[in-house]
Structure 1
Amino acid sequence: MSNPRCYFDLEHDGCPEGRIVFELFANIVPKTAENFRALCTGEKGKTSSGKDLTYKGSSFHRIIKGFMLQGGDFTAGNGTGGESIYGEKFDDEDLESLKHDEPFLLSMANAGPNTNGSQFFITTVPTPHLDGKHVVFGKVLKGKDIIRAAESTETSSDDRPKAPWIIAHCGELAEGEDDGVPSIDAYGDPYPGYPDDYSEDLEPPSLLKIASEIKTYGNTAFKTAKYSDAITKYSKAIRYLQVKPAFDDEDDPALPGLFLTLKVPLYLNRAACFLKDPTPSAIRSVIRDTTIVLEMTGQVPTKDRAKALYRRGTARSLKGEDEEAVKDLEEAKRLLGPDAGIQKELDLAKKRLTARKEKERKAFSKMFG
């Protein structure tokens, strides 16, 4: 009989992020694996205090980039709670057979020897300093991109994610059951979401080739109005190009220009996608991406600088920063010449700015009238 497979369906800040599938090493650490499996299914009922014995609804309360994601505290939610299916704690099962020698391993969190409960962590790098102290009991089969995304999330000073990562659903997959995760996505993209997980050549020519292909998948998503997918693809392409953030005298002198030529449309296209659903967070992202383009070292084409200014000006208008918006839009108009879209946005920003100044003038005159 093969080892059990379990899954988490994760949500980040209320949005579905996808499924992580695990293999549990029941053939080596059966007691520890069974604890995790049963907490995924919720089949053991309730704790002594009446809490459901399940990971469903709990969060990853601690995330450290370049180390691990920790979760499983379904009682307190802050790393102080949790309970096993055997009682509050159970003993270490086997600290020697399995090592923390690769990323994407499942291991038990504890407060010292023989204090295993329900808390666990998923490694994102090899962590040999944990060998002999924590029981490795499984590994990630699918969903590594989701873990990388969670690993990169913004955290507070205590390593708690500012926007929660929640285990919305969890369970066990029957032997032979489809895991619900496609091997290749709908766009035919074969590349891992994060370059750290790509096992082949990542020299500059390969980075350019990979990022260019991923950009094509993003463009396909954009053309079909799947803007969230397009953002994901453009972000992924940017990550691959960032593997080579700078160049030196030994590099091919053509590389900086080739990287710039690819980076500029990636940032501009991503900004255009964010403007399709201009939430406060999306507006901030537009301003960030367009500012990156405007501050790039190298010869950014005039047309692209104008696009960046137009999109940043539009975002600043949406944010209520009309004075800054007018500056951006006037500069875009100067660079590009007559353009109906720029002129329309500029007229609106000027109108709002004039109205605001008039309102302020009247309020000021009343104070001293």
Structure 2
Amino acid sequence: MPNPRCFFDITIGGESIGRIVFELYSDVTPKTAENFRALCTGEKGIGPSTGKPLHYKGSPFHRIIQASGERGTLSLGGRRYLCGSSSGFMIQGGDFTAQNGTGGESIYGLKFEDENFKLKHDRPFLLSMANAGAGTNGSQFFVTTVPTPHLDGKHVVFGQVLKGQSIVREIERTPKGQGDAPDQPVLIADCGELAEGEDDGVPAVGADGDAYADWPEDDTGAPRKDEELLQIAQTLKDLGNKLFKQGQYALAMRKYQKAIRYLQEKTLDADSEKKDTDQFKQEYYKVKVPCFLNRGFCALKLERYETTIRDMTSVLEFEDQERFVSPADQTKAYFRRGLAKTKSSDLEGGKLDLEMALKLSPKDTAVLKELEGVKAKLAAKREKEKKAFAKMFA
């Protein structure tokens, strides 16, 4: 009998981002795999120890742990580990009782013993049990995003990600706040078990024809040449443009972001022996600039003003900006950043950006109209403040 497969449908900030499909190693760790499988289906009902449903559905990924920069220590389920300068570590979830890493319950009781340590943490996308020491397994688990050999002999590996590695990467890159918790809720919106032979619901190639790994580091083929990376980014930009025209702004943003990731695999080289030609730089920025402009425009449509401001600022601060960012594109960047600032109640900042846009494109009626509107709002605001000040001394 093949190993069981389970799935998580993930949302970030209420937006569906896709499905993760797991294989559970019931042939090596049957007890641990069965615990996870049953918690995916919810078939065991209410937990006797916590009085909560034994079900992952609706529970969060409460910690995103990354080890970046200098060597330091990381905490996992009460244990502390020395780690090196890796770009990632793991994402952790499974606390369906307290939702913050302090709770959870197994199908065998509050805790159960370590089954075995036969499998090693030797690659990314492994499924392993979080614990606070020997014999303290409950419902909490983690998915590795890099090899983590320092966890061998302490945490039980019991599965792997079959599909949805890009979803794991997206969770890993979610902005974090205090205690490694994601700024936006990362939830298991739905979960369950897939029957033998059942379609897993994850197409091998996207419906839009996008066959590229969402994250370049997960591309299993040979290293891409610079020209290939540029062509992939161009293809993804075109897909984003198509989605934008259809009004699917959130999906379009994801395509532009993916294109940017592939562009970031290539650093324009200033070394004298292998210096990039001006022609290549021109083609590079011809893709890069619209990706940032369009992603920021999508964010504006979705009222994600901080993202718009960040992306427009990036365009205006690109290296070689004067050579490769046209006045028309600079106008777009100032205009969209000005709109985002205005929508964020930064009227003065918005006014300055709109004035810069108008300076670059004096005949742009859309810019002129917005600038006049902001000036009127500022005048009304000052008049209101003036009246309020006068009342204080009446």
TM > 0.5 between the two? yes
1:353 to 378, 383, 386: 378
CA distance in 2, matches of 1:84, 1:321: 50
1:145 paired to 2:145: no
Matched with 1:174 is: 195
Post-superposition shift, 1:170? 1.0
Matched with 2:35 is: 35
CA distance in 2, matches of 1:366, 1:205: 67
> For residues 178-197 of structure 1, what are the structure 2 equivalents within 5 Å?
178-197=199-218
Post-superposition shift, 1:77? 2.0
1:51 paired to 2:52: yes
1:210-238: per-residue Cα shift (whole Å, max 9, x none)? 11111111111112111111101001111
Q: Secondary structure at the match of 2:105?
A: coil
Post-superposition shift, 1:104? 0.6
2:60 and 2:186 in contact (8 A); partners too = yes
1:145 and 1:192 in contact (8 A); partners too = yes
CA distance in 2, matches of 1:30, 1:294: 56
Write out the 4+ residue segments of structure 1 that deviate beyond 4 Å after TM superposition: none
Structure 2 stretches lacking a partner, 5+ long? 67-87
CA distance in 2, matches of 1:245, 1:64: 27
Matched with 1:329 is: 354
Give the counterpart letter for 1:20 in structure 2: I
Q: Secondary structure at the match of 1:158?
A: helix
CA distance in 1, matches of 2:143, 2:180: 15
1:205 to 208, 227, 234: 227
> For residues 216-231 of structure 1, what are the structure 2 equivalents within 5 Å?
216-231=238-253
CA distance in 1, matches of 2:393, 2:91: 59
CA distance in 1, matches of 2:391, 2:112: 73
CA distance in 2, matches of 1:88, 1:67: 27
1:286-316: per-residue Cα shift (whole Å, max 9, x none)? 1111111111121211111011111111112
CA distance in 1, matches of 2:346, 2:97: 44
Post-superposition shift, 1:189? 0.5
1:239 to 254, 261, 266: 261
1:3 and 1:25 in contact (8 A); partners too = yes
Post-superposition shift, 1:364? 2.7
Matched with 1:129 is: 150
> For residues 1-369 of structure 1, what are the structure 2 equivalents within 5 Å?
1-48=1-48, 49-65=50-66, 66-96=88-118, 98-200=119-221, 201-249=223-271, 250-254=274-278, 255-278=280-303, 282-298=304-320, 299=323, 300-369=325-394
Give the counterpart letter for 1:44 in structure 2: K
1:247 and 1:256 in contact (8 A); partners too = no
State TM-score, norm by structure 1.
0.94
Quick one: structure 1 residues 330 and 166, their matched pair in 2 at CA, closer, same or farther if it must change by over 3 Å?
same
CA distance in 1, matches of 2:388, 2:124: 61
Q: Secondary structure at the match of 1:180?
A: coil
State TM-score, norm by structure 2.
0.89
1:56 and 1:170 in contact (8 A); partners too = yes
2:268 and 2:276 in contact (8 A); partners too = no
Give the counterpart letter for 2:24 in structure 1: L
Report sequence identity in percent: 56
CA distance in 1, matches of 2:310, 2:234: 22
CA distance in 2, matches of 1:88, 1:275: 47
